[in-house]
Chain A
């Protein structure tokens, strides 16, 4: 169940740690203890200020920075000179194989950035098509696009930009920069990181394919029900688009678990959360929001996929509350999503402002507190998207208050950024211009957003271009800052400087184009959204917007030319081209070596220093008999077996996932599409499923060294190993996934009248039997762990076998129950009652099946005597299995008794 099979090297440590836990003692704060281990000699850091010359500011402002001026910025390694940097044994970066198998966070970051820019072009192209259509009011059949083509362009533009461009672009930077800022060698689960990227690419390609399957989804990016059902959007491509989103969400969830584990567990010594750079903070909060928001979206999308593919009845117009259910599920995700795409931009603004004003950000801790507040509150504002749906006045009032409440922390952040300019030394470089421009546009977006917070005004703005203009000022305002981030870190990523003049020209064209495009939309706000027929008086404004769209789009030609050319023949830069850069990514070469740092980074003495790795290793072996601490440091620096840092399996899993989902798209409400195509879809699904399964097995068996956490700051998960933290974070998102399903059940039941709704199975006894079976299987999993701790091989084997038998018994019993129901005419597709019953318990059964596959894997390895010295896989499997058990403890009463 865990990504990285722990190696024996660390086994002793964890066994002791876990034993401590089972003895009922609170896990000791080993990480902070480890800081006190006596190798202070090696940790002594040099004063970075001494002998460091300030780079010549003049050379940085305008022309390409001179790498030579910043060599004084280097932070030397303590103790012996490390040779860790020379040891990279990856396939050469110029080979295809390298890029298919890389798991390094910097490579993955580059892949994310490049891919997301491709989707920016795709989304931009769709926007151009729309703007051409909107050049003047069109009668039926006039213009470039037909009505359905226009709806597809509108929908795909929104989906591509929000999902496949905005967040992945930001996560390119997050991948590249965050581990550097925190002092980690890589993410906690490098192969999962590669998997996130490949699933993202696979999902994007799947979406592209949907255009060629009779047309992609045409129901708007909000996918409102019941237009999102095959009755109204029948194309196969519409299925594919929804499934592409499912695959994308899987990628995001994997990525969220990975980033959260990494960012909480793997910060450099002394880099407590309070001291984390703001960009890293913004990513941390973004990822927390993603974890829960995307789980809710996954619930929504799985239900929708089921309605489309299996023919369940959640969103059909006959279901009371079905239409509203979609809006709740979607916006519960959709509003946090606004901050998910905007926070990284905010973080970049803060970094760029500090660097190019030479000032530390004003009110830093309040800035962070404001972000935390927004992240929490973002989950209780979603109904402001639904003020006209007939929800009651009390809830409207409540959500008006939370909505206004969430706007206030942004005021504070905006002022903090502005006051950072005061008494600074502002240098108008390209990154600064984009960050500054982004803030300016965001201010306008924010002010126009307050209009929407007033419900009386919102009633009239609903569905008009006021909304369109407002959220483009906010979101594309955010993009502006992200582009600033691209220029800011370009020298770090490529080791070369971009052309400053072309960069500024890009900004000028971009800024003019942006405002020409979006400002007229405020003037012509009475245009209904997603139409191409509007009052003639607004035509000049729409023409202006179309001109702006082309200027904005074409301005990117400058960027692509500039960056492509500079990547090859730009002036070389040293560690940093920027005067007043502060964060750790600027203290290593550009681009950083595979291992990132010349030694183990530490802030022990209040500023960044590097301890030598050899010295650290020595220290750790001396302390390796102590629980956790010393070994943790060992895990960080450890014996680097570079041969195991590449893996093809993330790529292979994604290829399989692509085929599987492509195949599933050919099913509509329970039956395959007609003819040869149907067979082809079926084959693709089967082949894809096999590839996924085979690749996952190979993945599990592949030896792979992933970095351990706990070498520095690990709050609040000190003393809990990375794999366990990752498992719990994943389970928390699974709580929200099931929460979405159960919430959908409760909501539709309330809409139908709670007590008028009777359980689908008339007899609760089969459900009770399954409760007994599942409880018993949880017990046997516990026994398996106890046996592993006692190094009792056959005890492990017997307990796991019992678990598997019980699990199969559970599924068999359920299968019989379902067959019986089918025979008595109870079909999943009949009513909302039967749909919720079969789908929710079906999702649970799918979890049981996944658990059984895991258990079979464990059983297979335990026959060979595995897990006796390192029982963690058994423990983590247990966490998952017990969770599935707990879910059933609620499903049983909800669906069988009440």
Chain B
């Protein structure tokens, strides 16, 4: 499976070929694609089988003689077909368990990210986001260099928010009185939108922030000119 599709500079151990590595975007897309393909396949097969049987065994004039219908007032018992039931059950168990185990390996990777280049403090409030850089610079815009692992330490100053940038596949809860961490790496420059993903009051729909991904050189130049004051 192609691992370097996104051209990430994150060092990737070779032995982990089967388990998607790379940016959060790569990891998510890869797993999502597999789930979508398998999910669609299973869904189509099961639903088709179900509809086919309902149609095939529709009631008609020709009722076979060996038909043994339940009668009113009998004690409930089961019908035949147990073996087929267990085969299907075993099959579905194998599919689900192996899929989840596979993604678990990726989870371990996501939970233990590559050494971050930079750490930014994120604080949610009604209704916006505040970013604090290591040098104390504060801003309502998050600027990060391309192709570098950025760690976010996220919290909230009032209610439960959730910080997420859909396109970068990064998301974590912003819980008052507590800090959660997450990380991401952007492989393309440009403007992205961070949003709140937990209902937080009247301004929830518009609780956004701009995330600017810059060329690393450009970024360093900008960062060198920032001070502890708010921009």
Contact = CB atoms under 8 A, between A and B. Distances in A.
Contacts of A52: 71-72
B93 A411 contact: yes
Contacts of A393: 111
Interface string B49-87: 111011101110001000101111111111111101110
A49 interface: yes
A360 B75 CA distance: 11
A444 B47 CA distance: 9
B177 A456 contact: no
Contact of A603 (B51, B75, B196): B75
Interface string A334-361: 0000000000000000000010011111
Chain A, interface residues (CB within 8 Å), range: 35 or more
B18 interface: no
Contact of B57 (A227, A425, A443, A531): A425
Given A275-B76, A582-B76, A586-B72, A404 B96 contact: yes
B224 interface: no
A405 to B, nearest CB: 9
B31 A227 contact: no
Nearest to A422: B53
B175 interface: yes
A586 to B, nearest CB: 6
Contact of A389 (B86, B180, B199): B180
B199 A220 contact: yes
B53 A324 contact: no
Nearest to B64: A423
Interface in B11-42: 27-28, 31-32, 35, 39, 42
Contacts of A275: 75-76
A422 B79 CA distance: 11
Contact of B199 (A357, A530, A583): A530
B128 interface: no
A360 B180 contact: no
A418 B53 contact: yes
A453 B158 CA distance: 30
A225 interface: yes
Contacts of A407: 96
Contact of A460 (B42, B106, B171): B171
B100 interface: yes
Contacts of B79: 359-362, 364, 420
B67 A358 contact: yes
B96 A450 contact: yes
Nearest to B53: A421
A148 B159 contact: no
Nearest to B87: A415
B88 A227 contact: no
A581 B76 CA distance: 11
A550 to B, nearest CB: 23
Contacts of B203: 147
A608 B71 CA distance: 10
Chain B binding surface SS class: mixed
B9 interface: no
A448 B51 CA distance: 20
A463 B175 contact: no
B200 interface: yes
A48 interface: yes
Nearest to A228: B159
B199 A415 contact: no
Contact of A451 (B39, B70, B77, B202): B39
A420 B196 CA distance: 46
Interface residues of B, number: 83
Interface in A364-408: 364-367, 388-390, 393, 396-397, 400, 404, 407-408
A226 interface: yes
Given A359-B79, A526-B166, A456 B106 contact: yes
Interface in A583-598: 583-584, 586-587
Interface string B197-219: 11111111110000000000000
Contact of B100 (A366, A400, A423, A440): A400
A421 B73 contact: no
Nearest to A441: B47
B99 interface: yes
A533 B206 contact: yes
Contacts of B58: 425-428
A65 interface: no
A464 B67 CA distance: 49
A835 to B, nearest CB: 15
A463 B49 contact: no
Contact of B196 (A426, A528, A582): A528
B89 A412 contact: yes
A226 B160 contact: yes
Nearest to B92: A411
A220 B47 CA distance: 34
Nearest to A522: B36
A37 interface: no
B137 interface: no
Contacts of B8: none
A453 B206 contact: no
A171 B35 CA distance: 37
B176 interface: yes
A814 B23 CA distance: 60
Contact of A151 (B55, B77, B201): B201
B78 A224 contact: no
B57 A530 contact: no
Contacts of B100: 400, 404, 450, 453-454
Contacts of A414: 46
A219 B200 CA distance: 7
Interface stretch (A86-94, A314-322, A822-830): A314-322
Given A415-B85, A422-B57, A453-B100, A151 B204 contact: yes
6 contacts: A219-B199, A419-B85, A436-B54, A443-B43, A529-B197, A582-B71
Interface of B: 27-28, 31-32, 35, 39, 42-43, 46-47, 49-51, 53-55, 57-59, 63, 67, 69-82, 84-86, 88-89, 92-93, 96-97, 99-100, 103-104, 106-107, 110-111, 126, 156-160, 162, 164, 166, 169, 171-173, 175-180, 195-206
Given A48-B74, A317-B159, A425-B57, 17 more contacts: A75-B72, A224-B199, A227-B200, A232-B158, A270-B75, A317-B158, A360-B70, A366-B85, A400-B100, A411-B89, A419-B84, A421-B50, A455-B107, A456-B28, A463-B164, A576-B72, A582-B74
Interface of A: 48-49, 52, 54, 57, 61, 73, 75, 138, 140, 146-148, 150-151, 154-155, 218-220, 224-227, 232, 270-271, 275-278, 317-324, 354, 357-367, 388-390, 393, 396-397, 400, 404, 407-408, 411-412, 414-416, 418-428, 436, 439-440, 443-444, 447-448, 450-451, 453-457, 459-460, 462-464, 526, 528-533, 576, 579-584, 586-587, 603, 606-609
Top 8 A-B pairs ranked by shortest CB distance? A463-B197, A608-B73, A364-B78, A317-B176, A360-B79, A425-B59, A454-B103, A531-B205
